[in-house]
């Protein structure tokens, strides 16, 4: 089967492909999509394109239709822009609660709309594609998972630590996910529990996809109630809490430990959430 299209982040291999390609005058591009995500080969980075979203948001007066069309143009499976886009999702939920028409002017919510639009005009966000260091001997690797919540949203983020020695640790962003809080009001403790459940599910999915051995897994929450729930028997609590403890604690731990050389896992409390809680509270590019 003759392959006609190639893409590489190695300059020498790119020149070889250009010289030996059966296609006359092959075009060389440094920014090609990889499964829908732009991949800059020269810098070896992945990014989230926002130009189409900006085009949808800019013309005409702001409306619920325009906001939804703009959000639909952002494809971000890794959650790279989660801390920025969660504010717009919160706004969209607020507009549904207000029962505004699709093309009704936003009026009181205009500033939130313009803040989101101005945020996207600042440019794309990119991360390194390759996160494993090709250094021997192989470093120790740990997954650190942070979950957090506010009354408006909850979410989690996963980092990979590569530990070479006591003084050298590299931190790599892996994936993040944020969700808007349920329409029905609930307590902050239950929202924190939903964040922990989301973190457990995302970790389990990542481990099933990632062909990398990890020495230990460290999930964190800054809510003492959630920490107490997860570390105790589910039968002690009401069904809402008990069902989610089984999912966020026992079920995921059992599945993780079934993997060869099962990693150690235990929930911990993180007190300083200044860097992690932005996925649940939103942020800017500043």
Domains of the chain, first to last: 51-126 (no CATH), 138-281 (3.30.420)
pTM of the entire predicted model: 0.80
Q: How many CB atoms lie within 10 A of CB 259?
A: 12
Q: How confident is the model at residue 165 (pLDDT cuts 50, 70, 90)?
A: confident
Asked whether 158 and 174 are in contact (CB, 8 A), the reply is yes
Residue percentage of the chain with pLDDT more than 90: 22
Beta-carbon contacts of residue 121 (< 8 Å; ≥ 6 apart): 54
pLDDT score of 186: 92
Asked whether 164 and 214 are in contact (CB, 8 A), the reply is no
Q: Write the pLDDT tens digit of every residue in 110-120.
A: 888 988 888 88
Three-state SS annotation for the chain: CCCCCCCCCCHHHHHHHHHHCCCCCCCCCCEEEECCEEEECCCCEEEECCHHHHHHHCCCCCCHHHHHHHHHCCCCCCCCCHHHHHHHHHHHHHHHHCCCCCCCCCHHHHHHHHHHHHHHCCCCEEEECCCCCCCCCCCEEEEEEEEEECCCEEEEEEEEEEEEECCEEEEEEEEEEEEECCCCCCCHHHHHHHHHHHHHHHHHHHHHHCCCCCCEEEEEECCHHHHHHHCCCHHHCCHHHHHHHHHHHHHHHHHHHHCCCCCEECCEECCCCCCCCHHHHCCCCC
pLDDT score of 41: 76
Q: What is the rounded CA–CA span in Å between residue 48 and residue 269? A: 32
Q: In what order do the strands lie in the sheet with 45-48?
A: 31-34, 37-40, 45-48, 125-128
Q: Is the pLDDT of residue 209 over 60?
A: yes
Residue percentage of the chain with pLDDT more than 70: 75
pLDDT score of 29: 61
Q: How confident is the model at residue 5 (pLDDT cuts 50, 70, 90)?
A: low
């Amino acid at each position: 089967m003759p392959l006609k299209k190639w893409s590489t982040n190695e300059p020498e291999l790119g020149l070889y492909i250009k010289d030996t390609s059966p296609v006359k005058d092959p075009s060389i591009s440094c920014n090609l999509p990889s499964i829908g995500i732009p991949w800059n080969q020269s810098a070896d980075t992945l990014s989230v394109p926002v130009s189409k979203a900006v085009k949808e948001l800019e013309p005409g007066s702001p409306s619920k239709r325009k906001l939804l069309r703009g959000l639909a143009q952002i494809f971000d499976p890794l959650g790279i822009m989660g801390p920025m886009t969660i504010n717009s999702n919160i706004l969209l939920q607020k507009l549904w609660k207000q029962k505004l028409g699709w093309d009704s002017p936003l009026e009181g919510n205009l500033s939130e709309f313009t803040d989101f639009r101005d945020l996207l005009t600042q440019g794309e966000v990119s991360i390194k594609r390759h996160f494993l260091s090709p250094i021997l001997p192989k470093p120790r690797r740990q997954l650190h998972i942070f979950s957090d919540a506010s009354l408006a949203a909850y979410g989690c983020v996963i980092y990979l630590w590569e530990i070479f020695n006591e003084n050298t640790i590299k931190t790599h962003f892996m994936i993040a996910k944020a969700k808007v809080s349920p329409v029905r009001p609930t307590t902050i403790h239950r929202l924190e529990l939903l964040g922990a459940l989301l973190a457990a599910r995302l970790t389990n999915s990542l481990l099933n996809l990632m062909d990398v051995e990890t020495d230990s897994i460290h999930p964190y929450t800054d809510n003492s109630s959630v920490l107490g729930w997860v570390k105790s028997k589910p039968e002690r609590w009401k069904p809402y809490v008990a069902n989610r403890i089984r999912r966020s604690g026992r079920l995921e731990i059992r599945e993780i430990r079934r993997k060869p050389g099962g990693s150690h896992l235990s929930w911990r409390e993180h007190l300083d959430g200044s860097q992690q809680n932005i996925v649940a509270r939103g942020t800017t590019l500043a």
